[in-house]
Amino acid sequence: MKRLIEAWAQRLAFAAMLLLFLSPYVQAQITTKTGSFPDGATFLIEVPTPWNGTLFLYSHGYVTPLPGTPNPAKDVGDAGTRAFMLSKGYALAGSSYATTGWAIQQALPDQIAVLDEFQRQFRKPDRTIAWGHSLGGIITAGLIQRYPDRFNAALPMCGVLSGGVATWNTALDGAFAFKTLSALNTPLQLVNIAAPLANLNLAEFLLAAAQSTPQGRARIALSAALSDVPGWFDPASPEPAPTDFASQEMNQFLWDQQVDFPFIFAFRAELEARAGGNVSWNSHVDYRKQLEHSVDREEVKALYQAAGLDLDSDLDTLNDAARISANEDSVDYLEHNIVFDGQIHIPVLTMHTTGDGLVVVENERAYRDVVDEAGNQHFLRQTFVHRAGHCTFTPAETVTVAENLIARLDTGKWPQLDDDVLNAEASALGPLNVAPPAFVDFHPALYLRPFDALDECHQDSQDGECHRSKFEFRADE
């Protein structure tokens, strides 16, 4: 995945150079302000002359909690988008957050501190738009939920919009299946991880061993299916055919090996340290039913049959295995940092790739469902890009959705967001297209382990009492 990210970064850098070469107006005067806050977070602010009065507050993604990992302040996702936005008169700002890892606790107040600093050094913006990628997507959604009066619109991109509890429960499901079926008699730790890097090395060794046999590959596919990991990995390659199950499993293996296992078997420890214990549980989960809801179920059935394995037997093994309980105080920490209540009262436009194996596209369905349940669906629109990879948007696609969000603010009505219209708008942005625009009409499936602010205690309309524990699974969906 590192090679893929580097290749994509080179494409973005090339696009930025083209834009600078073709558009002299991006050399407009930029006032840059930097500094730090008492908690150690740094900030970056860029204001063009002339400034149009709109500020985009950028929340960056997850920074790995490894010693020496750089954690600079960022105010935009890529150089091409930066050049375009500044050339159009938009101000950009963002912070580093005070810590790395699952830094939502620090990110939310740090980002508000950036707004305060901006107002102190310049003036209050006419409009403030929150936007961000990945962990920055959940932070973006968290900012408008916790500080609704500070924002006029939001653009979460490839965001963890199922919320923290659901995300880490989903990760546990895949890990639980992998250990139960492929690593049962090993010291591999799923929660309360004591030695993260050693645990990850063991997981990678066991994964490679499983990948070497048809039976192991079928079980890798099953563990991936319980998290809806897509069978598409390389953004530069076409999506495997619907019945090319061998290629799909190989891509899921690559997601596990290069992206997901570090989070599942190592970086989870950083979150557990923050929360004071295990944040995830799988009590009451029916893995047979969960597979039936998975977008990967046909792949799993086919690979099990080809490997001569009994899928029902493995599902029985999963359902009969001893379950994992969470520390309630730790879950409360993760719930606070953060899950969603659907209370949005400003325009929110999201964007997600369909082949995202780190933050699966079903996150968008989880967010939409809670917004719908709260009755605020008219404030939300969602766009999708048909491409593999996590946050692998082109600058043209990013600018296109940003301009459509601005149009919603300008007119008070949502513009036409059909995929053909969006692709035409992106195509018109010339050198910002480091790949052909790929907006697509897409409807994500149900998120397999939903959890939001409405889940902990559902009220019965007749007696007004809470009848459901937050540690129960929504098995009826």
The CA distance from 14 to 6, in Å, is 12
Residues 6 or more apart in contact with residue 198 via CB below 8 angstroms: none
In a domain, 448, yes or no: no
Residues across the chain: 477
Last residue of a domain, one of 333, 364, 379: 333
Beta bridge partners of 127: 54
Residue segments in the chain with a per-residue pLDDT below the cut of 70 = 1-28, 456-477
Q: What's the confidence (pLDDT) of residue 352?
A: 98
Pair 24, 82 in one domain = yes
Pair 300, 389 in one domain = no
User: How does DSSP assign 218-273, residue by residue?
Assistant: HHHHHHHHTTT--S---TTSPPPPTT-HHHHHHHHHHHIIIIIHHIIIIIHHHHHH
Pair 318, 177 in one domain = yes
Strand 30-36: give its sheet, edge to edge: 30-36, 42-48, 91-95, 54-59, 127-133, 153-157, 348-355, 380-388
Domain that holds residue 259: 165-333
Q: What's the confidence (pLDDT) of residue 47?
A: 98
How many domains, in total, are found in the chain? 2
Q: What's the confidence (pLDDT) of residue 1?
A: 41
Q: What is the DSSP letter of 439?
A: B
Which is nearest to 45 in space by CA: 149, 119, 139? 119
Q: What's the confidence (pLDDT) of residue 89?
A: 98
Which is nearest to 128 in space by CA: 106, 109, 147? 147
Q: Are 97 and 103 in contact (CB under 8 A)?
A: yes
Residue 190's Cβ-side half-sphere holds a number of Cα atoms within 13 Å equal to: 25
Which CATH number characterizes residue 403's domain? Answer: 3.40.50.1820
Helix, strand or coil for residue 12? Answer: helix
The CA distance from 348 to 84, in Å, is 21
What is the DSSP pairing of strand 30-36 with strand 42-48? antiparallel
Last residue of a domain, one of 309, 333, 357: 333
Q: What's the confidence (pLDDT) of residue 469?
A: 54
Pair 118, 129 in one domain = yes
| CB neighbour burial string for 241-271, b if at least 16 within 10 angstroms, e if fewer | eeeebbbbbbbbbbbbbbbbbbbbbbbbbbb
Pair 183, 313 in one domain = yes
- Secondary structure of 15-36 as H, E, C letters: HHHHHHHHCHHHHCCEEEEEEE
Q: What's the confidence (pLDDT) of residue 455?
A: 78
Which is nearest to 147 in space by CA: 57, 47, 74? 57
Q: What's the confidence (pLDDT) of residue 456?
A: 57
In a domain, 442, yes or no: no
Pair 120, 25 in one domain = yes
Which is nearest to 166 in space by CA: 30, 362, 19, 4? 362
Tens digit of each residue's pLDDT (9 = 90 or more) over 60-82: 999 999 999 999 999 999 999 99
Pair 311, 199 in one domain = yes
In a domain, 23, yes or no: yes
Token digits of residue 104: 């939502």
Q: What is the DSSP letter of 14?
A: H
Token digits of residue 301: 């059935």
Pair 315, 355 in one domain = no
In a domain, 461, yes or no: no
Q: Are 224 and 261 in contact (CB under 8 A)?
A: no
What are the backbone dihedrals phi and psi of residue 26, each rounded to the nearest 5 degrees, phi first?
-75, -5
Q: What's the confidence (pLDDT) of residue 28?
A: 66
Pair 121, 190 in one domain = no
In a domain, 459, yes or no: no
Which is nearest to 348 in space by CA: 337, 364, 361, 329? 364
CA distances for 331 relative to 243, 270, 475, angstroms: 39, 14, 20
In a domain, 468, yes or no: no
In a domain, 201, yes or no: yes
Pair 322, 343 in one domain = no
In a domain, 465, yes or no: no
The CA distance from 92 to 83, in Å, is 11
Handedness of CA 293, 296, 298, 303 (dihedral sign): negative
Pair 144, 175 in one domain = no
Token digits of residue 48: 């063009």
What are the backbone dihedrals phi and psi of residue 136, each rounded to the nearest 5 degrees, phi first?
-65, -20
Token digits of residue 58: 């950028």
Q: Which amino acid is at 11?
A: R
Last residue of a domain, one of 333, 356, 376: 333
Global pTM? 0.93
Pair 169, 158 in one domain = no
Which is nearest to 387 in space by CA: 419, 344, 341? 419
Q: What's the confidence (pLDDT) of residue 5?
A: 47
Q: What is the DSSP letter of 212?
A: T
